[in-house]
Amino acid sequence: MPPKIRELIAELERSGFTNRDGKGSHRNFSHLKCSQPVRISSKTSDDAKFYQIKQVRDALGEVRRKMRKKLTFIKKLFIGATKTIVLLECVLN
């Protein structure tokens, strides 16, 4: 059984997407890390259609990939800074 529209909306909101409103039953969700807005139509009690599920999964995947990439960059900076501090401590002692 496919998820309900309200479940897709809850998943988007948990992941940091914001509802920019729309006309009628249409909702537009955006995220700073997502290149395209996610548009969801239908009543919240309706079953989600396949293309809606795919659109939400793709958007969540894009956000997660970009967050992982940023986290990896921050870890590399931290490791580099730690190595520099250890090297300076060895030189100063």
The count of domains in the chain is 1
CB 83 within 8 A of CB 91: no
CB 5 within 8 A of CB 40: yes
Task: Quick: pLDDT tens for 11-59.
Answer: 999 999 999 988 888 999 999 998 899 999 989 999 999 999 999 999 9
Q: 3-class DSSP state for residue 60?
A: helix
pLDDT at 52: 95
pTM: 0.74
CATH number at residue 9: 3.30.920.30
Task: Quick: pLDDT tens for 54-75.
Answer: 999 999 999 988 888 888 878 7
Structure tokens at 12: 């988007």
**Structural domain of 73:** 5-92
